[in-house]
Structure 1
Amino acid sequence: MVEIIELEQGWSVMQVGVRKLTRILEGEPESPFEAEAYMRLYTTSYNMCIQKPPNDYSQDLYDRYRKVFEDYSKQTVLPALKGKHDEYMLKEFALRWANNKVMVRWLSRFFCYIDRYYVARRSLSSLTDVGLICFRDLVYTELQSSAKDSVLALIHKEREGEQIDRALLKNVIDIYVQNGMQTMEKYEADLEKFLLQDSTSYYSRKASSWIQEYSCPEYMVKAEECLKKEKERVAYYLHASTEPKLVAIVQAELLVAVAKQLLEKEHSGCSALLRDDKMDDLSRMYRLYEPIPKGLEPVADAFKNHITAEGNALIKQAEDAAASGGVQEQVLFRSIIELHDKYMVYVKECFLRHSLFFKALKEAFEIFCNKKVGASSSAELLAAFCDNLLRKGSLGAEKLSEDAVDKMLENAVQLLAYICDKDLFAEFYRKKLARRLLFDRKDNEGQPEKNVLAKLKEVYGLQFTSKMEGMLTDMTLSKELKDNFGTHLIKHTLRQVGYDFTVTVLTTGFWPSYKTSDINLPSEMVNGIETFKAFYDEDHKHRRLMWIYSLGTCHVNGRFDSKPVELVVSTYQTAVLLLFNNSDRLTFQEIVEQLNLSPEDVTRLLLSLSCAKYKILKKEPVSKTISKDDSFEFNSKFTDKMRRIKIPLPPVDERKKIVEDVDKDRRYAIDAALVRIMKSRKVLPHQQLVSECVELLSKMFKPDIKMIKKRIEDLITRDYLMRDSDNPNTFKYIA
């Protein structure tokens, strides 16, 4: 028969173990628990719980277990904490918490059977939780507020540079975490909330002081150090969940709140750092503001404004130069390219290729790269810059290597991305390409020209370069044609021209349009033309040759009294000079009638031959202008130290015609875009149609809204579109 253990009898045995444990925790002399003593306590508890009712004392033991912790907290722990303050109180608080956890661990072993069966069946708090709850309700609730104040005071000391006991802080902060009973409620409500408030006040005060005291780089070093130390603080003793909140406060108070003052600081702000090439400081600025939502926007704005100011200064210098002596596009675009290269390095190295800074760089360059310099647009100047590089291979007086020229041209193509009027550039470039191909002695239809077109084609597509590529193809074919024509003349000696005669055959659609006229050419020149025409018609019967005499160049021997001089002149100038082989003196009107040219064209020719540097003809009366009453004769007394001279025609400003041609092409492009959009959409409101048209065309040029509206009206009159009868601001496509 098993002996029944009564409650008081059994509890007296359990109390022996409880007293022994509390004496050990209080540091009093006591031997450690031996296995035999531990087993006696466990067995007593076990037997008291497995007895049949009314002798099952599970609930009584559970209640007395709780009372052990309550009595210990009231009679031992709270008195030990009473009267202690600051760090001493924190040490005692941490010790008592550690003791409580030890006590829970040992007593829950003694009463293990209750935990495993009774607690589980009744859905009661576990023995471990009972011990923690008693400490929380009796000790933590009493001490947490004063402990919080002491913790914040120690953190403040550490922020001010003093050494503190970090291990103690970690132990105390763990009390807040663990008393949340698997939640962060206690930590967040009783400590973290006040820590964050205190941190906000602290860093707000520091920001107000430091922004006045330190330069921008010094301030950023301070801010970066604060962020680093707060992260270390979390790693050493705060809970990990506090880090993003604490970092956000430091960022908000030290960086966001003073961003405008910091970035615009005189002599040391963002603009000054860019001006003085302070790449390390700019990298630090990026590191500090990048993690902040929208934190980089003011930095990117400052970056954009600085580049825009520098670019505008270059444009102003170019305008001043234009006012005093003409636009120097080589100097301007070399400076712009250097500016672009410089700040692209900043984007890549300081700002780690962040899209916001690529956008800022793009927008800044778009602002000043689209400004006019004098009467010239940026598109025209960039075309002239490329033309100069391809013709001379130099920038001003500096001769460039082939690789340097290629790199400079690549940079020029890159700058084109920032220019709105890309179609205008294409037309100016095509015009200058034509002159290079037709008049320059360099082999410009070779690799350099092809390299530029390949770069343009890669970026802007085949349509952008198709005409220019056709021009290069024409020049290649013309070389073959020249050789074949030479062979033809050798075979047919009866049809010899009597002088060197070469023809360049161009495809009408590829080349710019040129002025033509029905000039009465001298018989010698007509003979050459007829000979070539007969040769060309043999292989190309279905093609029609249209002669552009204005592009021709002739080498004429001038027999002067002192010595013969070879004159390099245009076809029209040649026709004028050859008239004097048959007449000693001719009036202006006679020249007009014999050549069958307009008076304006004849005036320009006679200016070049009688009023310019080389006076091949003598004019009466002598003056610097041509009138209808003038008469001319060959100047046999003309002399020059050179044996060959080139007599240029007065320059003609082609800018107006090119711009007019581009405007005409733009009207066609807008019409095509509008029809394409409406064909796919069928019905669109006015505003959406305009915006989609702008978006579609903006890759080549920025269409004028007024022009789009005019083209819409024109398409309505031509029955491509119609207005909706119910809503006049909505258009319908007419299939």
Structure 2
Amino acid sequence: EHMPMILQRGFGELMDGRRIDDAVRLYALAARVGALEALRAAFRDHIRASGLRLVKDEEKDKEMVERLLELKTQLDEVLSHAFCRNEAFSNALKEAFESFINQRQSKPAELIAKFIDAQLRMGNKGQTEEELEGLLDKVLVLFRYIQGKDVFEAFYKKDLAKRLLLGKSASIDAEKSMISKLKAECGSQFTNKLEGMFKDIELSADVMAAFRQSPQFRSKLPKGIDMSVSVLTSGFWPTYPIGECKLPQELADSQEVFREFYLKKYSGRKLVWHCPLGTCVLKAQFPKGSKELSVSLFQAVVLMLFNGSNSLAFADIKDQSGIEDRELRRVLQSLACGKVRVLNKEPKGREVDDTDTFHFNGDFASALIRIKINSIQMKETEEENKKTNDQVLQDRQYQIDAAIVRIMKTRKTLSHKLLVSDVIQQLKFPLRASDLKKRIESLIDREYLARDASDPNIYTYLA
């Protein structure tokens, strides 16, 4: 009879202090007096409260996944050493995690995807393949608890695309291993597009090998230029802005040579060039030595304008490059205001104005031969993240509509209550009754369904 009071007054402090020996004694006592259910409930409530504090702490969003992993490690230790891996306690842990991690809509799913991205990127050194594999397994446990797995998929797909296209993956084996884990967890439909992205990269390598052996490559490609093209299947990859620009003649000719080769090999296909995704290595002659500049395609377009002139006004660069205004300002900032200043700007200043003039920097010097000039990128803003989340919500609407039509086509006539129950069973993401009601109304408006004349709570499928 004293157990509820003991748990209420001291259990939280015992858990926070990681007092494993005391937890062992408490479990033995609870087992002896038949109070294991009370201890299990206290364990579950403590996890729920601790986890909710972490998930709701918006100021520490960047650390959320690490903190959740640390919490899970501590709890697994208690479960293993103090609670004898009791199945009821294991279920309590699972139940508590599923409860608190889904309290903040889609944010934990987004942050888990970002955490995995950071681990799989090239910059993440200092751990072995085995350590990386172990960490990904632990993160996957958190992923299991998330209801909105489509949010995770959207962010994971966007980040994977960047890693593959920019060559930022620390290990292709680790990438494929992660996709295998996701496939085992969620089925092949979940990973179909991710696997398609890998297939595109591999096929592109084969296409480029064939291109380099072709007569077009040997005879038509402008001298001094090598090129590598990634041919992507639009359905597998995130949607990217095409980003128009006026390519220098040498690059435009190279592009045309590849286009002619590719369409001859694969007739009936259409190539759409995505300039913002391109990268270049330019050979640059400075008075103080030759350098190789690793730049984006937009940066290359701007720099190559200075082959014909040492000085250009902003308006002239804009007209000759054809790059969109806001993008061009970022490109010029990276070339004239960043760490590596191969151009000089007049007047000096951080912002690029319409009246600015840019000059070739004849005094440029560096100890390095190959120099990477980073783009001034808009950080992944709230607006960008919102756009990804909005796309997920849009996709969910299509899935809800498809599920409703599928069910009604089979059942022909169904009550509102049964239809809601069937749809919730079919869909794998959290669904509010109000959202489902809106989709039903939309399908009625579009004459897929009709309400029964005698009972408005019954729907009929219209063939």
3-state SS in 1 of match to 2:284 = strand
Q: Which of 401, 422, 425 pairs up with 1:692?
A: 422
Aligned residues: 457
Partner of 1:592: 318
| Unaligned residue ranges in structure 2 (runs of 5+) | none
Q: How far did residue 371 of structure 1 move?
A: 5.7
Q: Residue 357 of structure 1 aligns to which amino acid in structure 2?
A: F
Alpha carbons 1:563, 1:639 under 8 Å: kept: yes
2:441 to 702, 710, 713: 713
Q: For structure 1, which segment, 489-498 or 451-460, has the greater mean C-alpha deviation from structure 2 after superposition?
A: 489-498
Comparing both chains, which one has the higher relative contact order based on Cα–Cα distances under 8 Å and sequence gaps of 6 or more? 2
Is contact 2:302-2:317 (8 Å) kept? yes
Q: Alignment partner of 2:227: what SS?
A: coil
Among 427, 440, 449, the residue aligned to 2:154: 427
The verdict on how the C-alpha distance between 1:673 and 1:350 changes in structure 2, with shifts beyond 3 A counting, is farther
How far, CA to CA, are the matches of 2:247 and 2:314 in structure 1? Answer: 17
The one-letter code sitting in structure 2 at the alignment partner of 1:344 is D
What does residue 400 of structure 2 align with?
670
Match of 1:418 in 2: 145
Q: Quick check: 2:120–2:169 contact (8 Å CA) kept in 1? A: no
Which residue of structure 2 lines up, in the alignment, with residue 702 of structure 1?
A: 430
Matched, 1:390 2:120: yes
For the structure 1 residues 491 and 622, does the alpha-carbon distance in structure 2 shift closer, same or farther, using more than 3 Å as the test? Answer: closer
CA deviation map 1:161-197 (0-9, x unaligned): xxxxxxxxxxxxxxxxxxxxxxxxxxxxxxxxxxxxx
Among candidates 258, 281, 284, match of residue 25 of structure 2: 281
Distance in 2, matches of 1:430 and 1:388, equals 14
* Alignment partner, residue 88 of structure 2: 356
Letter in 2 for 1:609: L
How far apart, in 1, do the equivalents of 2:123 and 2:348 lie? Answer: 42
Q: Which residue, out of 121, 132, 136, partners 1:405?
A: 132
Please say if residues 204 and 231 of structure 2, whose CA atoms lie closer than 8 Å, have aligned partners that are also in contact.
yes
Q: Contact (CA 8 Å) 2:284, 2:293: kept in 1 or not?
A: yes
The answer to whether the Cα contact below 8 Å between 1:576 and 1:591 also exists between their aligned partners in 2 is yes
Partner SS state of residue 545, structure 1: coil
Report the alpha carbon displacement of residue 623 of structure 1 after superposing the two structures with TM.
2.1
The Cα offsets for residues 434-487 of structure 1, whole Å up to 9 and x where unpaired, read as 11111125574x321111111100110111100001111111112222222222
> Which residue type is aligned with residue 634 of structure 1?
F
Question: Aligned-pair distance for 1:302?
Answer: 0.8
1:621 aligns with 2:347: yes
Contact 2:222 2:253 (8 Å CA) reproduced = no
The answer as to 2:14 corresponding to 1:272 is yes
Name the SS for the 2:145 alignment partner: coil
Residue of structure 1 aligned with 2:292, choices 545, 563, 566: 566
2:291 is aligned with 1:602: no
Residue of structure 2 in register with 1:631 after alignment: 357
SS in 1 for 2:121: helix
What amino acid maps onto 1:439 in structure 2?
Answer: L
Offset of 1:649 from its aligned partner?
2.0
What secondary structure does 1:633 align onto? Answer: strand
C-alpha separation between the residues in 2 aligned to 1:549 and 1:556? 16
Quickly say closer, same or farther: Cα 1:273–1:659, change in 2 above 3 A: closer
Distance 1:392 1:521 in 2: 30
Report whether the alignment pairs 1:380 with 2:110.
yes
Residues 1:725 and 2:457 are matched in the alignment: no
TM-aligned CA deviation for residue 415 of structure 1:
1.0
Corresponding position of 1:507: 233
Distance, in Å, in 1 between the alignment partners of 2:390 and 2:224 is 43
Q: Residue in 2 aligned with 1:263?
A: 7
Higher Cα Rg: structure 1 or 2? 1
- Is the Cα–Cα contact under 8 Å of residues 554 and 571 in structure 1 kept in the other structure? yes
User: TM-score by structure 2 length?
Assistant: 0.89
Q: Distance in 2 between matches of 1:262 and 1:683?
A: 56
Contact 1:271 1:302 in 2 (8 A): no
The answer on whether the counterparts of 2:280 and 2:296 sit within 8 Å (CA) in structure 1 is yes
Displacement of 1:497 after TM fit?
4.7
Deviation at 1:682, TM superposition (A): 3.1
In structure 2, how many angstroms separate the alpha carbons of the residues matched to 1:632 and 1:270? 64
Task: Report the CA distance shift for 1:496/1:583 in structure 2 as closer, same or farther (over 3 A).
Answer: closer
Provide the residue aligned with 2:50 in structure 1: 310
Cα distance, 1:696 vs structure 2 = 2.6
Q: CA deviation at 1:603?
A: 1.9
The alpha carbon displacement at 1:646 in A equals: 1.6
Identity percentage of aligned residues:
38
SS at the partner of 2:194?
helix
Task: Provide the secondary structure at the position in 2 that maps to 1:417.
Answer: helix
Considering only aligned residues, what root-mean-square deviation do their CA atoms show, in Å?
2.7
Q: Secondary structure at the match of 1:615?
A: coil
- Report the alpha carbon displacement of residue 714 of structure 1 after superposing the two structures with TM: 0.9
Q: CA contact under 8 A between 1:365 and 1:418: conserved in structure 2? A: yes
8 Å Cα contact 2:122-2:169 kept in structure 1: no
Instruction: Quote how far apart the aligned CAs of 1:261 are.
Output: 1.6
Aligned match of 1:164 = none
Deviation of 1:589 after TM superposition, in Å, equals 2.3
Q: Which residue of 2 aligns with 1:452?
A: 178
Name the TM-score, length of structure 1 as normaliser: 0.58
SS in 2 for 1:684: strand
Local SS of the residue matching 2:237: coil
Please give the alpha-carbon distance, in whole angstroms, between the structure 2 residues aligned to 1:403 and 1:393.
Answer: 17
1:299 aligns with 2:39: yes
Aligned equivalents of 1:573 and 1:392: distance in 2? 23
* Pairing of 1:57-206 with structure 2 (within 5 A): none
Residue identity opposite 2:237 in structure 1 = W
| 3-state SS of paired residue (1:399) | coil
| Alpha-carbon spacing, 1:675–1:285, altered in 2? closer, same or farther (3 Å) | farther
Q: 2:65 aligns with which of 301, 322, 333?
A: 333
Query: Relative to structure 1, is the Cα distance of residues 320 and 587 closer, same or farther in structure 2, using a 3 angstrom cutoff?
Result: same
CA displacement, residues 613-654 of structure 1 (integer Å, 9 cap, x when unaligned): 222222223221122222222222223333322222222333
SS in structure 2 of the partner of residue 492 of structure 1 = helix
Contact 1:271 1:303 in 2 (8 A): no
Structure 2 residue matching 1:569: 3-state secondary structure: strand
Deviation at 1:351, TM superposition (A): 4.4
Contact 2:121–2:170 (CA<8 Å) still a contact in 1? no
Q: Between 452-461 and 483-492, report the one with greater CA deviation.
A: 483-492
What is the CA distance between 1:529 and its match in structure 2? 0.8
Whether the 8 Å contact between 2:344 and 2:359 is mirrored in structure 1 is yes
Cα distance in 1 for residues equivalent to 2:275 and 2:26: 61
- Does the C-alpha gap of structure 1 residues 557 and 311 become closer, same or farther in structure 2, counting only changes over 3 Å? same
Q: 1:285 to 1:450 in 2, by over 3 A?
A: farther
CA distance in structure 1 between the partners assigned to 2:170 and 2:264 by the alignment = 29
- Measured in 2, the distance between the counterparts of 1:707 and 1:657 equals 19
Is this contact kept in 2: 1:347–1:353, CA < 8 A? yes
State yes or no: 1:344 paired with 2:71: no
Gaps of 5+ in 1: 1-256
Question: Greater helix share, 1 or 2?
Answer: 1
Does the aligned pair in 1 maintain the 2:27–2:36 contact within 8 Å?
A: no
